[in-house]
Amino acid sequence: MEEVRKIVTGKEAAEGEGPNFSMAPLGFKKSEVLEYIKNIEAGMRSSVASYENKLAEQATALSMALREKEKLTAEIEVLKKKVEQLSVNVDEQKSELAAENNVLRPRIAGLLEVEKRNEVLTEKLNNLASRCEHMEAEKKALKDLIAEKEATILEQLKKYSEIEKALKLEIEKIKIETDGRLQAYELKLELIKENLQKILSLI
């Protein structure tokens, strides 16, 4: 009987305090041993579920970071298109102003004596030049804004890249820890089952 007790409790004595089974005429009570194994299996399943939930949370955070990265990239493309369109508009205005100047110059040369008309035409030219300068100023301001936004976006992309790297490392670490614990649990369960079989064979 003492040999049976050593078979069941040998592993627990090496690791720390083991289960306190009640004694039966031929050894430990079989129902308590089976209940002990059942509790160990439940604990293993709970640990596995907990690590799987943690992995899912890390994967969700990584997906959100990638979506934010795509959103910022799309915003950069929209701003670039706006700058291109504004450049086209400015060039068109310049072309129109140049064409109108070409038309007005010979008329001004032929109508120098008509001072009032000349003043009107000069004022119109000045207004067009002012509009051009204003559009150039707007273009420069928009370019400065885009440069500022791009710097901010690049900084955010760098931050998200670091977060993504950290998340991948954390997920890999969790996987390694989970695999190690699962192997330890499986080994412990296998030893318990082997001990139980030895007990049952002795009974």
pLDDT tens, residue by residue, 122-171? 888 888 888 888 888 888 888 888 888 888 888 888 888 888 888 888 88
The DSSP 8-state label assigned to residue 27 in this structure reads E
Domain ranges within the chain, ordered by starting residue: 2-202
171: CB partners within 8 A, 6+ apart = 55, 58, 59, 62
| Structure confidence at residue 28 as a pLDDT band (50, 70, 90) | low
For the domain covering 2-202, report its CATH number: 1.10.287.1490
pTM for this entry? 0.28
For residue 46, which amino acid is it?
A: S
